[in-house]
Amino acid sequence: MAPLISPAELDTLLRRDPHVRLLDVRWRLDEPEGRPAYLDGHLPGAVYVDLEHELALRGDPREGRHPLPPRGQLEQAARRWGLRAGDHVVVYDDLHAVAAARAWWLLTRSGVPSVRVLDGGLRAWIAEGLPLQTGDVQPRRGTIQLDELDEAAVAAIDDVEDWPWRGTLLDVRAPERYRGDTEPIDPVGGHIPGAVNLPTTVHVHGGRFRSPDELRAAFASVGATEGVPVAAYCGSGIAATHTALAGAVAGIDVTVYPGSWSQWSNTRGRLVAVGRTPAAEVVPS
């Protein structure tokens, strides 16, 4: 199944299929609580998903800022959203699908077969003149059963340390954070030695994902091609799932390092590279 769905396609699907479940995953770094905006207007029937508390685990800082939730926590959240076996799940947000991608990635890697992301999100839906609903949606509790997260989709901190010597490791943060010119959140600036920079912003244009051919070209420009092991990390494991989604559109399998820079930079003994690869300077963390 294609990982993206357009507003027009979703509108048609909603009219024909009663088993469509909409999830509103509004979140961003400077405004992590998206519920107020959700209450002001969302897709009809959409349930609000709290990324900070349902799609992440609040744990030890050494695990990163947004560790993956255990299966039981995610399953209870999915049941709160009303999900049942056989549902067609569509997730969206209002900022280039970065937060929506986290929900897409977690659910698909937990065995939910039909999960798509609304291409263009809330803004594209509104631009098509499609209706919104205000207030909260509290669905009847679901009964879905999730699998343990697919281990092959997840890279641990020791995995990414060795990754550049057997594949391509993508740092998907802004170039200035990758180079170490600035670091507004984590204790150390720079990147994992051997990682190459491919910011998430290159995957979208006008709020929507670029074509599969354009995405493949972007990945290929940094050595990430089909058949080459590819892993991605970001600041805390959110934006990296957006790169995994772009990879799925392009036909490239991308493993995610959930701990990302927030874990790496908080772990003693991990080397840090600054500047541009390959002529980056490596210093102790």
Considering the candidates 74, 91, 117, 234, report the single residue annotated as catalytic: 234
* Active-site residue, 234 included: yes
Question: Tokens at residue 265, please?
Answer: 């930079």
* Burial class, 254, CB count within 10 angstroms (exposed 0-12 / middle 13-18 / buried 19+): buried
Within 10 angstroms of residue 188's Cβ, the number of other Cβ atoms is 16
Residue showing tokens 């500047």:
275
Specify whether the CB–CB gap between 232 and 172 falls below 8 A.
Answer: yes
d(CA 173, CA 235): 7
Per DSSP, the chain holds a count of helices (H) and strands (E) of 11, 13
d(CA 199, CA 177): 10
Q: Which residues contact 146 (CB under 8 A, 6 or more apart)?
A: 71, 74, 75, 78, 107, 110, 111, 112
DSSP H stretches of helix in the chain: 7-16, 35-40, 51-54, 71-80, 98-108, 121-127, 157-162, 175-179, 212-220, 239-250, 260-264
**148 SS3 class:** coil
Within 10 angstroms of residue 15's Cβ, the number of other Cβ atoms is 9
For residues 131-157, one letter each, b for 16 or more C-beta atoms within 10 angstroms of the residue's C-beta and e for the rest, the string is eeeeeebeeeebebebeebeeebbbeb
Question: Tokens at residue 110, please?
Answer: 């937990």
Active site residues: 234
